[in-house]
A and B are shown apart, each in its own frame.
Chain A
């Protein structure tokens, strides 16, 4: 059985096509489903095993990125989302999707064991630079994170493309609590550090940290490790030909399509699909 993935779209979500594609490349069956199809009941979230909220500019980021789509989901899909999370099904939010999950309160969510309460605990706000930028960053993953999406991943390079990616919480203690539970799943790191040793709590300079996030946070998960969001775009490096330096790596054959050319972002989607397969 192929795991079924609902890739949300509508109202300015933009990365729905490639998000659908990467799930299909790792063996899932993915549908682009308009938000309103879930709201109206025409489609049922329950029929899916994974939910992806892709990147984009839902409602133009007006009134704060992710806020308006977050509200639609928080108020019009509340029960369906709660059931989905409580059923232990994985959710990913990428870029605008991450912003949406944070504004709905699904991320970082309540402490371990509690059901989703849709209370916003952190926020994503304007980059310190004041600019929207598309630039490649280096990411490292907390190996002890409960996050099912990042298992076995150490370091990848991929682009950020956002103007509001600075993750903040009301106090350092709030971040401490997440860090203790290894929910600070992924962080921006200096590319010159040794892989596996790049994670730092000290604020790294622009543009290594492109936005000034607390503790260089690029993405977080909830207490269960099933709900995960990040600002950078792992789907944008599904193939190595999308890497900015690929013309420097000519050690590969003219083989068919992705043969020898798989990009390092694809593993994240494979992890979730494999997780679902093993559970069923």
Chain B
């Protein structure tokens, strides 16, 4: 029998370090803490722990001492979780154990893996090896080196018992201290509150009415309890309140002389345009205020979408951080309206270069390890939850070494009306409803996630900010919640994410204007948690659900059927107060209004001057053949198939356009298309756009390009442009001027410009943003070593596709098909992938110059509308977006998808020189191929919209590109395939 687990480790060591190990074998270990006698367990090993057909099993001894491992290995490494870290296999084993030994109800099982190495090179240290196999933040490893192996001293892990938590009685915290002390209090307590905010809190406790009310409740009248202070810190965190987007910004533009004040970027540039559009269409059901934006999809169904980031946790523990990211955003969908069913995921990652050979700052993983961990987390989270990953992207840039970006999105589906007639997108709680905490328990993990993500990453970042998701606990909860929804048992539901119960119940309490929580009722993973910890812990897989008192029995019986824990922990009231008790004692008593609206508005400074970077100028005598080969190998362009194919992209049997297209099913898909109602071809398009490097020249252009790319991608598959909605997810470096951030004004000006372009383009495209999120502290370190990410907007789009049977894909299909460029090229090579490649190699001096612009978006929209209609009319079955690498790369990808050639002439495709027309990244361009029989109808439909003949699909398997009389390049398709597919495997292959 092959030991595949061991093989994977062996291949990875070769791929990452060139280390040639003869063989690696693996042992799965289970530490059982229970009452069942070990000989009883021994008799049942093959029923649970070892597969009788393929595995050896042993009880009370390590397998290393048995015949299964007769020759002495060179090293043995055992890796297990640290105490308190989520051990999913352990949980499953415990469940399975209970099936066999139903009376041993308190048994718990912890797991470990032992790797056994043979033929290890002499100079390879076992301790170093252990470092490559575990993350010290969450795991522990024990090592036996060659000598120890030869004498049978095997590593043996003990059961990971979490340390006792010290219960701290709620106490009052004196805020009548000087400003310096207030700041120290905030910083040392990881509260992430600024002085102004500390003053606002101080002010609240000086109010006479407040003091009288508090005295009457028996709670410290003139000072917050630790519970209250923590609760305010979570609720007022940048993560939860988006204080920068809500701030008052003094904006100065030194180029235009503009000097203005923007009162809330969010309200001005995002909310207002969407609300204006909401007056013009009837399908925008719910925007901004819920966990995701909801649109009516047809008479019976509505769809919603949300995207989140999970950057800081993914930097510390790529696997766990990314997994909690994806299962967390799934809960946003489940917590939308009265509960939507997640039906599709999207994943967009930004990493440092996978082949990075430069220095790595302390505490950071190599980008390839981050990629592998993040990918694995999202893969496990998505696949195990049964939600297909239909769209995404992976972007590389040096600056993401400091902080990777992990965007996770989810689309949800819900009936417009529940069986009891209530519209599903409206929550209907009333005072007196009982509030349940459903799903996982509360633990020490996940304390301070929201405030932590509102601080920059440092070497001291706390391990409690990292969690590992538990998709199966969540899946059970999801099954149960959707049944409860359809049975009409839910009046209100929301996710427990950032800020834990304090945020989830606190936000829902706004509906009825009050709540009363008893923290003593909250089920805990481990005893000893203090009240404030219970309130703010972000332990995963929990929903907060309100139920009418008369439905409690039915709700609880459904929970028990699904083996889901559901505990009543609060009641909605109309007292105006966020009232928290621990048993009988009141531990927090805050006005709902103060909790949610008491945070003072930030006032910030913004100053724009265009960055000065050397302009890109192309080298002389270039060989475009070689350039194309090199471009196809660029990580930003190369095929991500190894990674993406490991996502289930078609569970639910609805994915009509998949991430891979073409005859070998390896060409790039532009957008995902799903038909979620079985038997009905009515579809939904899901796409995204991201262009962070344009921020090097102008973050405004970056935003416009991201939106246009998302729309173009969706148009390529046949989107109905008159029914589309968007999500804006901003990831920015800290834009607040301070000693740590001396260039804060510039970074804030970038944000202002990005949002102005967002408004301009979205209004022109009639593309409402229905939900969004921002993550504003994406920096690592401080001083000269500080690494700030390039300002990045991910624009996600979901829109209608009336009939998925009439879609297009990017692969060239038929010899003789006529190829067109829809849109026109301009001389726009600034911050292009080509400019970056040639600047990195020293063949050019800089990436500056003209960045792609979007001067006439309305014209683009008209063109997109016409083109997508030709797709839905069946006239066009081949369309591909032109983005990184310009026309040359787009054409190469279309040849790769079809394993077929093309003969192209780029003369007349726009202004500018051959470099601009071949490699430039001008927006608004789509390449299509049309069969001769549909040519006339296609041209008639595109009349008045810039459409230029490029050439034909040819029988020769070569891509030939000419510019009038000059041949620019001629490259064999197989050469392109090899270049494009050979770069990003990084796993050492499959054999």
> Is A111 an interface residue, CB under 8 A from the partner?
no
- Minimum C-beta distance from B684 to chain A (A): 13
**B637-670: which residues lie under 8 A (CB-CB) from chain A?**
645-658, 660-661, 663, 665
Output the residue of A40, A63, A170, A238 with the most chain B CB within 10 A.
A63
Given A134-B647, A168-B53, A168-B54, A60-B679 contact (CB < 8 Å):
no
Q: A-B pairs with CB below 8 Å: how many? A: 205
- Minimum C-beta distance from B525 to chain A (A): 18
- Minimum C-beta distance from A61 to chain B (A): 8
> Is A68 an interface residue, CB under 8 A from the partner?
yes
- Contact between chains at A25 and B53 (CB < 8 Å): no
Given A36-B561, A40-B561, A71-B48, A57-B384 contact (CB < 8 Å):
yes
- Minimum C-beta distance from B672 to chain A (A): 13
**B501-559: which residues lie under 8 A (CB-CB) from chain A?**
none
Task: Annotate B468-491 by CB proximity to A: 1 below 8 A, 0 otherwise.
Answer: 000110011001000000000000
- Contact between chains at B479 and A10 (CB < 8 Å): yes
Which partner residue on chain B sits nearest A58 by CB separation? B472
Kindly identify which residue among B47, B92, B656, B661 contacts A59, using a CB–CB cutoff of 8 Å: B92
Output the residue of B28, B653, B680, B803 with the most chain A CB within 10 A.
B653
Task: Annotate A208-220 by CB proximity to B: 1 below 8 A, 0 otherwise.
Answer: 0000100000000
Binds B, one of A182-190, A252-260, A272-280: A252-260
- Contact between chains at A72 and B54 (CB < 8 Å): no
Binds B, one of A16-24, A140-148, A193-201, A222-230: A16-24
Output the residue of B2, B475, B805 with the most chain A CB within 10 A.
B805
- Contact between chains at B650 and A159 (CB < 8 Å): yes
Chain B residues positioned under 8 Å from A239 (CB to CB): 675, 679, 681
Given A235-B653, A242-B655, A244-B660, A68-B95 contact (CB < 8 Å):
yes
> Is B119 an interface residue, CB under 8 A from the partner?
no
- Minimum C-beta distance from B131 to chain A (A): 21
Which partner residue on chain A sits nearest B804 by CB separation? A241
- Contact between chains at B653 and A18 (CB < 8 Å): yes
> Is B379 an interface residue, CB under 8 A from the partner?
yes
- Contact between chains at B679 and A25 (CB < 8 Å): yes
> Is B809 an interface residue, CB under 8 A from the partner?
yes
C-alpha spacing A89/B807, complex, angstroms: 41
Binds A, one of B3-11, B911-919, B943-951: B3-11
Interface size on A, residues (CB 8 A): 73
Task: Annotate B789-824 by CB proximity to A: 1 below 8 A, 0 otherwise.
Answer: 000000000000001111111000100000000000
- Minimum C-beta distance from B56 to chain A (A): 13
**B86-119: which residues lie under 8 A (CB-CB) from chain A?**
88-89, 91-93, 95-96, 99-100
> Is A133 an interface residue, CB under 8 A from the partner?
yes
C-alpha spacing A212/B990, complex, angstroms: 11
- Minimum C-beta distance from A92 to chain B (A): 15
Chain A residues positioned under 8 Å from B656 (CB to CB): 241-242, 246
**A6-58: which residues lie under 8 A (CB-CB) from chain B?**
9-15, 17-18, 21-22, 25, 34, 36-37, 40, 42, 55-57
> Is B281 an interface residue, CB under 8 A from the partner?
no
- Contact between chains at A125 and B648 (CB < 8 Å): no
Kindly identify which residue among A14, A59, A60, A206 contacts B991, using a CB–CB cutoff of 8 Å: A206
> Is B678 an interface residue, CB under 8 A from the partner?
yes
- Contact between chains at B48 and A241 (CB < 8 Å): no
Kindly identify which residue among B53, B385, B645 contacts A133, using a CB–CB cutoff of 8 Å: B645
- Contact between chains at B472 and A128 (CB < 8 Å): no
Chain B interface main SS type: loop
C-alpha spacing A126/B54, complex, angstroms: 11
> Is B83 an interface residue, CB under 8 A from the partner?
no
Chain B residues positioned under 8 Å from A257 (CB to CB): 679-681
- Contact between chains at B386 and A15 (CB < 8 Å): yes
- Contact between chains at A60 and B472 (CB < 8 Å): yes
> Is B383 an interface residue, CB under 8 A from the partner?
yes
Output the residue of A37, A56, A121 with the most chain B CB within 10 A.
A56
Which partner residue on chain A sits nearest B379 by CB separation? A132
Given A71-B48, A128-B2, A250-B877, A76-B379 contact (CB < 8 Å):
no
Chain B residues positioned under 8 Å from A67 (CB to CB): 48, 51, 96
Output the residue of A18, A36, A127, A129 with the most chain B CB within 10 A.
A129
Chain A residues positioned under 8 Å from B96 (CB to CB): 59, 63, 67-68, 71
Chain A residues positioned under 8 Å from B874 (CB to CB): 250
- Minimum C-beta distance from B701 to chain A (A): 33
> Is A247 an interface residue, CB under 8 A from the partner?
yes
- Contact between chains at B7 and A252 (CB < 8 Å): no
Chain B residues positioned under 8 Å from A169 (CB to CB): 53
- Contact between chains at B92 and A62 (CB < 8 Å): yes
Chain A residues positioned under 8 Å from B611 (CB to CB): none
- Minimum C-beta distance from A75 to chain B (A): 6
> Is B49 an interface residue, CB under 8 A from the partner?
yes
Chain A residues positioned under 8 Å from B940 (CB to CB): none
Chain A residues positioned under 8 Å from B11 (CB to CB): 130
Chain B residues positioned under 8 Å from A2 (CB to CB): none
Kindly identify which residue among B475, B648, B678, B987 contacts A22, using a CB–CB cutoff of 8 Å: B678
- Contact between chains at A63 and B679 (CB < 8 Å): no
**B380-437: which residues lie under 8 A (CB-CB) from chain A?**
383-386
- Contact between chains at A261 and B99 (CB < 8 Å): no
- Contact between chains at A161 and B648 (CB < 8 Å): yes
Chain B residues positioned under 8 Å from A126 (CB to CB): 4-5
Chain A residues positioned under 8 Å from B471 (CB to CB): 12, 57, 60
19 example contacts (A-B, Cβ-Cβ < 8 A) are as follows A10-B562, A12-B471, A17-B678, A18-B654, A25-B679, A57-B386, A60-B88, A63-B89, A71-B47, A75-B99, A123-B54, A125-B51, A131-B645, A133-B646, A134-B650, A238-B653, A245-B665, A248-B877, A257-B681
Additional pairs, 12, CB under 8 Å, beyond known A18-B654, A206-B991, A254-B805: A57-B383, A62-B93, A68-B92, A120-B52, A123-B54, A130-B4, A130-B990, A132-B648, A136-B665, A161-B650, A241-B675, A247-B813
Shortest Cβ-Cβ A-B pairs, 3 listed: A14-B386, A21-B678, A62-B92
